[in-house]
Structure 1
């Protein structure tokens, strides 16, 4: 499952408005608000007859900015949930040495496994 692709598609309305949404981590060169997507884990959750039936993947979505972005946090949660993601947890912090606000959110998605031909 391409969890990065699924999350990027879910957040397309935000990127269409000009906010950078990209795979990876903080990009100091941007010097402005941006959102990053980071795959945390993917697993095969349910098995039957030695075949995977359900795939699960977790992803972290980070907002990086010079100010707290609670409105954007709410919007991202809404968009991700509308696209089949389950919100797991979130954490807000500020890096005191740089003044960068980080709004971090973790999501889980479950999908039926795609059949593979052998």
Structure 2
């Protein structure tokens, strides 16, 4: 796996075989982000996954190099959780926005 920007170069199945708890780790990170920002906050998915509330990256800047805690979470699996096929995000209080570039996530309540 590559660590930045967390795109995988192996199959999703091999990631799940090596890290069977990857979904719960990603969901916990998204919930932590959700709980640390005000309602209406939106951010690129890459930045939300790589930055943390205490990493020091300004919220309104482009992600360059962050020392936050979310590194190594494969964006392909993150996108599967935020944009599940045929339905909306299953994580309460979070909405995926797919019509932006890059894709964004929003705190809804």
Q: Name which one, 1 or 2, has greater alpha-carbon Rg.
A: 1
Greater share of residues in strand: 1
TM-score (norm 2): 0.30
Greater length-normalized contact order (CA 8 Å, ≥ 6 residues apart): 2
TM-score (norm 1): 0.28
Greater share of residues in helix: 2
